[in-house]
């Protein structure tokens, strides 16, 4: 698949590493049936560029290039109060000399805190132009259009980026990731039986799936839901993967069976901590000194751990965990992660 025909900004030098997690794998195996578990590896997309990076960086390489081609002087996007996507979009705007506005959806009533740390602190430090908070259930597309219209009334030109950067153009970032991973497996002489990824706004999961299908990478992708269970999530991933394939001009119908989503690890609500997330964050930090985040990767790793303990992976199978970043939000959840919080869901 030729991505060179699409404008692209490059925010990362080289490929993100893939690394084995021997101490984590041993700790996990000790809790699996028979004391044996999978061999877990990690792809470090938390090391992507843009202050600090994460999966949205790959999407923004294509989205921001399109914004610049259209003559935009501002980016408008949306997310939750501790949105990694908003933070990285703002970082890209700063890098390109653009302004940036957010519409923040308070998905959990009372969760927005003007004095919060984590990503919210970085919003302010990086200089967000404006931040408008709206209640859960707001039509976010309409709210972002209103921001763009307000800028147009001032004689400016806004480029609207959907939540998570999840559309066909943004999904090309994970087609590029699929190609990068394919080359790394060849260079390392290493294959994987499964890839585990977070599945939320669907751009990462869907884009990676399109890349695997287009490049004939026959490794199943398991998407751990961070906000929905499979009945609601799988159609979103399927639609995103198909949209990416269509944008690339592939004569390919995405098989429904290729979309594998797992639920049950994100409850009680999106961004609300649970005990399995805390265990996963602590376990990786204390075995490999790698930081996960409470909203996305912590719950995704909890899903990988749960699947391993349920026997979903054969002993010794190589499982690649795609680390999509998000560490700054740890500092908004420190009490819970250090055992000083209350009210954790089981």
Residues forming the active site: 83
d(CA 107, CA 263): 19
Q: Which segments of the chain does DSSP mark as H helices, in order?
A: 22-29, 55-69, 84-96, 118-126, 140-153, 168-188, 203-214, 230-247, 275-288, 297-309, 334-337
SS3 157: coil
Q: Are 270 and 107 in contact (CB under 8 A)?
A: yes
State the residue for tokens 């190609």.
Answer: 179
Residue 169 to residue 221: CA distance in whole angstroms: 21
Residue 164 CA to residue 327 CA, distance in Å, equals 16
CA 6 – CA 4 distance, rounded (Å): 5
Give the span between the Cα atoms of 68 and 49, in whole angstroms: 19
Transcribe 71-115 into DSSP letters.
T-SEEEEEE-TT-HHHHHHHHHHHHHT-EEEEEEEESSTT---TT
**Can you tell me which residue has the tokens 């030098």?**
13
Do 74 and 98 form a contact (C-beta atoms < 8 A)?
Answer: yes
């Amino acid at each position: 698949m030729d991505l060179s025909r699409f404008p692209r900004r490059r925010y990362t030098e080289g490929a993100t590493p893939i690394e084995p997690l021997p101490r984590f794998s041993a700790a996990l195996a000790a809790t699996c049936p028979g004391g044996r578990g999978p061999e877990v590896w990690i792809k470090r997309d938390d090391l992507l560029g843009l202050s600090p990076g994460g999966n949205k960086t790959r999407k923004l390489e294509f989205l921001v290039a399109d914004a610049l081609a259209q003559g935009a002087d501002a980016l408008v996007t949306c997310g939750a109060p501790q949105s990694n996507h908003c933070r990285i979009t703002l970082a890209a705007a700063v890098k390109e000399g653009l302004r940036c506005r957010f519409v923040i959806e308070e998905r959990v009533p009372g969760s927005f805190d003007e004095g919060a740390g984590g990503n919210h602190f970085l919003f302010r430090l990086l200089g967000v132009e404006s931040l408008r908070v709206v209640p859960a259930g707001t039509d976010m597309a309409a709210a972002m259009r209103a921001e763009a219209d307000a800028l147009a009334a001032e004689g400016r030109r806004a480029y609207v980026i959907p939540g998570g950067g999840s559309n066909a153009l943004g999904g090309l970032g994970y087609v590029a990731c699929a190609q990068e991973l394919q080359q790394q497996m060849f260079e390392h002489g290493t294959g994987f039986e499964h890839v585990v990824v977070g599945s939320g706004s669907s751009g990462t999961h869907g884009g990676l799936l399109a890349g695997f299908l287009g490049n004939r990478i026959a490794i199943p992708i398991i998407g751990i839901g961070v906000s929905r269970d499979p009945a609601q999530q799988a159609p979103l991933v399927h639609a995103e993967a198909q949209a990416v394939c269509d944008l690339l001009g592939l004569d390919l119908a995405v098989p429904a069976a290729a979309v594998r989503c797992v639920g049950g690890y994100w409850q009680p609500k999106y961004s609300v901590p649970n005990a399995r997330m805390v265990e996963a964050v602590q376990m990786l930090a204390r075995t490999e000194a790698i930081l996960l985040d409470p909203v996305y990767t912590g719950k995704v790793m909890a899903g990988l751990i749960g699947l391993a303990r349920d026997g979903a992976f054969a002993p010794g199978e190589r499982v690649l965990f795609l680390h999509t970043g998000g560490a700054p939000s740890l500092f908004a959840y420190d009490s819970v992660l250090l055992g000083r919080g209350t009210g954790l869901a089981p």
